[in-house]
Amino acid sequence: MAEKDQQVHPLAPANGHPRSDEESVSLQSEELKRKKRIKYAVYIAAFAVFQTVVILIFALTVMRVKNPKVRIGKVTVETMDTSNTEAAASFNLRFIAQVTVKNTNFGHFKFDNATMSFLYDGVMVGEAIIPKARARARSTKKLDVTVEVNSSALTSTTTGLGSELSSGVLTLNSKAKLKGKVELMKVMKKKKSPEMNCTLILNLSTRSLQDLKCK
């Protein structure tokens, strides 16, 4: 048996470091285990990086709350009376303003009743209520608002009206501030108050909107 044993291990060193088969096998499996552990560590690290990137993208797109945009989309004139005599210039009109609320967020924007003011040369000439509503996620809410404006609040110091009416146009400015909240994932709510600032130019001969600019 002893002779056989020696034949099986011809390379076993006679002295110094004895190295049996079992020892080398366990060393090899230790090495394998070490490599596996490194592999798992790399996987976990890669997954953590991936997860971080996903969360970052999510935070920068879906969870980022942008201010909705409120403006006038179009104007339909119903009645329009203007007079421009030597003594006085005046206007009195009624129109339907289509108010648009563009919400680019991934959650809806809910806002309360708001007052929309119309000004001529900085003087308030009429008001209307934008009714409370909800603009759905990534969509534009359109609301028709009937507006009545007249020049009764203008004084003789507003000298521009006569000459403007003579040129065939009437320029009005509209302002409004919507107060509301953007709701994300049914839990996160963020207050947003978008403002309207539009300039409307009405053509007196066609009795319709000629130009519209919103900030």
Ligand X SMILES: *[C@@H]1O[C@H](CO)[C@@H](O)[C@H](O)[C@H]1NC(C)=O
List contacts with ligand X (CB under 6 A): 92, 112-113, 126, 129, 131-132, 150, 152-153, 167-169, 197, 199, 203, 205-206, 210, 215
Task: Give whichever of 15 and 167 is closer to ligand X, judged by the CB atom.
Answer: 167
Kindly state the smallest distance separating residue 201's Cβ from ligand X, in Å.
8
Q: Residue 105 CB, nearest distance to ligand X (Å)?
A: 22
CA 86 – CA 76 distance, rounded (Å): 30
Our CB check for ligand X shows the closer of 177 and 190 to be 177
Instruction: Please report, in angstroms and rounded to a whole number, the separation of the first and last CA atoms in the chain.
Output: 100
Contacts of 116 (CB under 8 A, 6+ apart): 97, 99, 127, 128, 129, 130, 145, 147, 174, 175, 176, 196
Cβ(212)–Cβ(200) below 8 Å: yes
Q: Which two tokens stand for residue 3?
A: 């002779």
Q: Which residues contact 79 (CB under 8 A, 6 or more apart)?
A: 92, 93, 94
Comparison of 106 and 117: residue with beta carbon closer to ligand X:
117
For ligand X, the closer of residues 100 and 184 by Cβ is 100
Min dist CB 124 to ligand X, Å, is 7
Q: Is 195 helix (H, G, I), strand (E, B) or coil?
A: strand
Q: Which is nearer to ligand X, 128 or 184 (CB)?
A: 128
Q: How far is the CB of 151 from ligand X (least distance, A)?
A: 8
CB of 166 to ligand X, least distance (A): 10
Give all strands of the β-sheet with 139-150 in edge-to-edge order.
Answer: 69-84, 89-103, 139-150
